[in-house]
Amino acid sequence: MKKSIVILLTFLMLFSLMGCSDDEETGGGTAQKEEMKITNINQLRLQTATPPPMIEKSLERENLRERLIRFNDENKVSYIYLLSDMGSVITFFPIKGKVSSVNSMLTTTEQIIRNPRGYSEGWVAVISSPDLDGSYGSNGDAIFFFTTEGVYCEWNGRYFLCDRPLKLTTAPLLIYDTE
């Protein structure tokens, strides 16, 4: 079964290479075409000699699933440690829910429209969508979260998140005041 898949992939790759004859399509001259062929032939040989394993279970998918289940809980309490660029703990918070990116959107970030400069029906263009508040652009690179008391916090630096509190060996630079 594995060899059949590898052989099929080999023929598909060779077939697709045969269609690339125009310099504009390949982006280069004869020497580059020959080097591409050599590279592809070598890769096909290596794939046949050492095919990728067919695994029964993916630990990567299991980790992603567990993370989604664990942190997609509005009552989940976690602990976030905000770090300086040198790794010192600036402050830490118990948080409720999950950490989110300020660039996460509730609606799509792009719209597909009929291209007004298109030469025929069906030509489309992709344009930026406005955010729900009507503004455009990025929100910067930051995360946000809510403390267990419901305080909104936003951070654009390094952080460490875990679902158990850590024992710190040095005092943080800032102390969170719950009053």
pLDDT in tens, 125-139: 888 888 888 888 888
Separation CA 112–CA 83 (nearest Å)? 40
Is residue 42 domain-shared with residue 117, that is, in the same domain?
Answer: no
Which pLDDT score, from 0 to 100, does residue 44 have?
A: 94
Which pLDDT score, from 0 to 100, does residue 122 have?
A: 65
Q: Taking a C-beta distance cutoff of 8 angstroms, is the pair 92, 78 a contact?
A: no
Which pLDDT score, from 0 to 100, does residue 67 have?
A: 94
Beta partners for 126? 112
Range of the structural domain that residue 112 is part of: 105-135
Is residue 79 domain-shared with residue 94, that is, in the same domain?
Answer: yes
- Is residue 34 included in any domain, yes or no? yes
Is residue 171 domain-shared with residue 112, that is, in the same domain?
Answer: no
- Is residue 79 included in any domain, yes or no? yes
Is residue 110 domain-shared with residue 91, that is, in the same domain?
Answer: no
Is residue 33 domain-shared with residue 87, that is, in the same domain?
Answer: no
- Is residue 166 included in any domain, yes or no? yes
Is residue 87 domain-shared with residue 37, that is, in the same domain?
Answer: no
Is residue 44 domain-shared with residue 6, that is, in the same domain?
Answer: yes
Which pLDDT score, from 0 to 100, does residue 74 have?
A: 93
Which pLDDT score, from 0 to 100, does residue 162 have?
A: 96
- Is residue 56 included in any domain, yes or no? no
Q: Which residues of the chain have pLDDT under 50?
A: 22-26
Other C-beta atoms lying within 10 Å of the C-beta of residue 22: 7
Q: How many domains does the chain have?
A: 3
Q: What is the phi/psi pair of residue 153, to 5°?
A: -130, 140
Q: Judging by DSSP bridges, how do beta strands 100-101 and 110-114 pair with one another?
A: unpaired
Q: Tell me the three state secondary structure of residue 103.
A: coil
- Is residue 68 included in any domain, yes or no? no
Is residue 32 domain-shared with residue 111, that is, in the same domain?
Answer: no
Whole-model pTM?
A: 0.64
Place of tokens 């850590």: 166
- Is residue 54 included in any domain, yes or no? no
Which pLDDT score, from 0 to 100, does residue 26 have?
A: 46
